[in-house]
Structure 1
C-alpha cells in the first residue's frame, strides 16, 4: 500500500461500494410503501429470466470482498512479480516487511468478512444479519488499530494524512457497532454510505499527495502542507454528500417519470404487515413476503446478498 497503486486500488474499491450503497438505499427509500405489480417469478419462464434471477441471488458483494481482499493481500507480498515478502524475519534475525504485513492483515480481515457473509446468506437456514455486521465491524476495528500504529517511522505529512483516514475508520467502527443491534436503521445506513465513500475518495486523493506523478512534490516538513490536509478532507465530505444527493435525485426522477406503471401504492391493510417484523435481526429464507419496510423479499425468492455487508433489505425490478 506504500505506493501510488497501493492507495488508488483500495480507494476505488471503497468508493465503488459506496456508489452501490447510494443507488440501493435511495431506491429503497423512494419505494417505501410501494409494491411491485408483477411477480418476479414470471421472469423465470424464459432462460434469460432464469439467469437473471440466479444472478440476483448470487452474493456479489461478498464475493467482491473476498476477491478484493485476497487479491490486495497477495499483491502486498508478491508484487511486483518476482517479489517474495512472505517472511517476517531476515537472515540476521531482524524484522522486515512489517508495513506489507500490516496491509496484508487489514486486507485479509475484509476477505474473512466476505466469507462470513456467504456463510450467513447461503449455508444457514436463517440469515443472521447481526453476524454479518459484526464481521465487517471487526474488519474496520482491525483497520483502525493498524492505521494508528502505521504512523510510526513516517514523515509528518504522511502521518497527518493517515490520521484523517483513521478518524473516518473510527467513525465507521462506531456506526457498524450500532448496526449490529439496529441493522435496519436508515440513518445508520446513510452514515455508513457516506463514510465508505469518504474512505475511498480520501485514499484516492492521498495517492496524488504522497506520490505525485507530475509537478512539484509536497514538502513533508512544511507546516502549511499539513494544515491544508484537513481542509481537503472536509471538501471530500461535501463532495461525497453532493454525489449522494445527485444519485438520490436521479433515482427519484427515474422512478417518477419512467416506471410509473411498475409499482402501486400499498393499501392500509398491507402497510400493517411490517409492524411485526421491525425488531427482527434475522431474515427467514423461506416463503418471505413483501412488506413496505422492505425486510422481506417479494415471493419465494432468496435474494439476500448485501453490498459490503449491508443487508439488502428489498429487491425491486
Structure 2
C-alpha cells in the first residue's frame, strides 16, 4: 500500500463499502426500518447453487484485501516480499516492515469477512454481535498500525497518516458501541459518514502521489503541512455532502418504486367472484361492446 496503486486499491475498496453502507442506511431510514438488512447474493451464482446465502459486504471484505495482500508481496512483477527475516545480515533481523504492516491490516479485514460469512450461515441473533466485534477489531488494528507506520517518515507523511487514524478510530468506536446497542439509526449515520471520510481521504493520499496541479507536495514547507489539515476538514464536509446526495438519490428511487408498486396494485385487481352474480354480469357487459357499437 506504500505506492499509488496500493493506496488506490484501498481507497476504492473503502469507497465502495462506504457507498454501499450509506445506501443501505438511507433506504432503511426512508422505509422506517428498525433493522439494517444487508443485500444477499442470489441462491444461484454463475450456474452453481450456494450452500448458504451471504452478503455482498462479506464477499468484498474477503476479495479486495486478498488482492491487496498479493500486491504487497508480488507487485511490481518479479519481486517477492514473502521473506520477513534477513538471516544473512546480522545488523538487521526483520525486513519489509511497511509491507508486513499492510498485510496485517488486510488480513484482519479478511478475518472480518470470514466471520460475516460464518455468522450469516448460522443466522443467530448473537452472531450479529460477533460480526460487529470482528469488524471493530479490524479498524482498531488499522488505527494502531497507522500510528506505528509513521516511523522514519517525513513530516508530510506523518501528518497524513495521523489524520487517517481519526476516522478509523471513530469507526472502530461506533462498531464497538453497536455490539451492545445494535440497530441504532444515529450510529448507522455516523458510521456512514466516517466511512466516506476515510475513503475520500485515502483517495486524497493518492492525489499526493500524482498531484493534479503538477506541483509535488513538500514535506519541508510549513504551508503545505498546514493545508493538509485544511483539506482534511474539507473532507469532513465532503463526507456530509456525499451522504446527503446518497440519501437524496435513494429518496428518489424509493418514491419511484413506491409509485410503481401502487400502479401495479391498482392495475391488477382480482375479480369479485364472491360477490353477487349481478356484479359479474355488469362487468362482462362493460367489457363486451353492444351490437351496433363502434
- Shorter-chain TM-score category? 0.7 to 0.9
Q: Which residue of 2 aligns with 1:249?
A: 248
Residues 208-219 of structure 1 mapped to structure 2, 5 A cutoff: 208-212=207-211, 215-219=214-218
Q: Which residue of 1 aligns with 2:174?
A: 175
Residues 218-297 of structure 1 mapped to structure 2, 5 A cutoff: 218-262=217-261
Q: Quote the Cα distance in structure 2 between the aligned partners of 1:125 and 1:152.
A: 43
Q: Which residue of 1 aligns with 2:111?
A: 112
Match of 2:89 among 84, 92, 109: 92
Any stretches of 5+ residues in structure 2 without a counterpart?
35-41, 263-294
Q: Which residue of 2 aligns with 1:80?
A: 76
Q: Which residue of 1 aligns with 2:140?
A: 141
Deviations 1:66-106 (A, max 9, x none): 11112211211111122111111222142210000000000
Q: Does the 8 A contact of 1:69 with 1:109 survive in 2? A: no
The worse-fitting range, judged by mean Cα deviation, of 77-86 and 96-105 is 77-86
Q: Does the 8 A contact of 1:113 with 1:132 survive in 2? A: yes
TM-score with structure 1 setting the length = 0.73
Aligned-pair RMSD on alpha carbons?
A: 2.6
Q: Quote the Cα distance in structure 2 between the aligned partners of 1:17 and 1:125.
A: 24
C-alpha deviation, 1:108, in angstroms: 0.6
C-alpha deviation, 1:175, in angstroms: 0.8
Equivalent residue pairs, number: 249
Q: Does the 8 A contact of 2:217 with 2:224 survive in 1? A: yes
Q: Quote the Cα distance in structure 2 between the aligned partners of 1:109 and 1:245.
A: 31
Cα 1:191–1:88 change in 2 (3 A) is same
* 1:14 maps to 2:11: no
Cα 1:241–1:119 change in 2 (3 A) is same
Q: Does the 8 A contact of 1:201 with 1:236 survive in 2? A: yes
Cα 1:196–1:260 change in 2 (3 A) is same
> Of the two structures, which has the highest relative contact order with CA contacts closer than 8 Å and spacing of 6 or more?
1
Q: Quote the Cα distance in structure 1 between the aligned partners of 2:143 and 2:24.
A: 27
Deviations 1:152-188 (A, max 9, x none): 0000001001110011111112111101111201111
TM-score with structure 2 setting the length = 0.78
